[in-house]
Amino acid sequence: MVFIVLTAWVAVLSKNILTAAVNLTIFSFLMALAYISMGSIDVGFTESVVGAGVTGLFIIIAIFKTSPIAIEKKQSRFRILRLVALVAFGAVLIYGSSGLPNRGDAYAPLNAETSIAGTPNAATHYILNAYDDAATPNMVAVILADYRGYDTLGEEVVILTAGLICFLLLRTTRGPRERERRKSDRHNR
């Protein structure tokens, strides 16, 4: 836990954006280890792949692909528009969350034994039967692997497809010099 707080602190106080990005990637990986140590393997796996892997890589690539001059010009031109968009988005979030039940409310519709339509609530079934059905101590793993296995498989396919597309997009941005160097390397073998 000390390392998690330390990497977050270094990332926030860092004057160098690359140092901050690397520290946030390390922070995300340490959070993944914390989730795994608490027994939530699926959340830890997702955090390590998305948070430490893909997001960290995208941030570092974006740092190297952007120039400070282009950023300053765009920032000065769209500053008011971004501020208005941010305030509007915040207002929509506050309005949308004002109708939600309080967190942990025992009488919220989600916590009812039956749904509004009168059918059994899936969450109640999962909670009551997870340990008996799978004999696994981690209820989240039972829900994701046993009850919702095909849904989880579909989500993993989407993540894999998105990763492959990102790889292909980033791979095609090589310049002519790189292509010529690779051609000459192949011919020299």
Digit-coded pLDDT (tens) for 18-61: 888 888 888 888 888 888 787 677 777 788 888 777 787 778 77
How far, in Å, CA of 25 to CA of 63, rounded?
14
- Provide mean pLDDT across the span 77-96: 80
How far, in Å, CA of 3 to CA of 19, rounded?
16
How far, in Å, CA of 173 to CA of 178, rounded?
10
pLDDT at 99 over 60: yes
- pLDDT, residue 14, reads 83
Number of C-beta neighbours around residue 32 at 10 A: 23
184 φ, ψ (degrees, to nearest 5): -65, -35
Selection from 66, 69, 57, 67 nearest residue 29 by Cα = 57
- Provide mean pLDDT across the span 56-81: 67
β strands within the chain, DSSP E:
none
Spatial contact of 126 and 139, defined as CB atoms under 8 Å apart = yes
How far, in Å, CA of 20 to CA of 77, rounded?
26
- pLDDT, residue 172, reads 58
Spatial contact of 21 and 55, defined as CB atoms under 8 Å apart = no
- pLDDT, residue 63, reads 77
- pLDDT, residue 78, reads 67
- Going by the DSSP 8-state scheme, the letter that residue 54 receives in this structure is I
Number of Cα atoms under 13 Å in the Cβ half of residue 46: 10
How far, in Å, CA of 74 to CA of 72, rounded?
6
pLDDT at 128 over 60: yes
Dig out the tokens for 51 from the structure.
Answer: 């948070």
- pLDDT, residue 130, reads 83
How far, in Å, CA of 60 to CA of 18, rounded?
7
The distance in angstroms from the start CA to the end CA of the chain is 50
Report DSSP letters for 69-122, one per residue.
HHHHHHHHHSHHHHHHHHHHHHHHHHHHHTTSPPTT-TTSGGGSSB-TTSSBPH
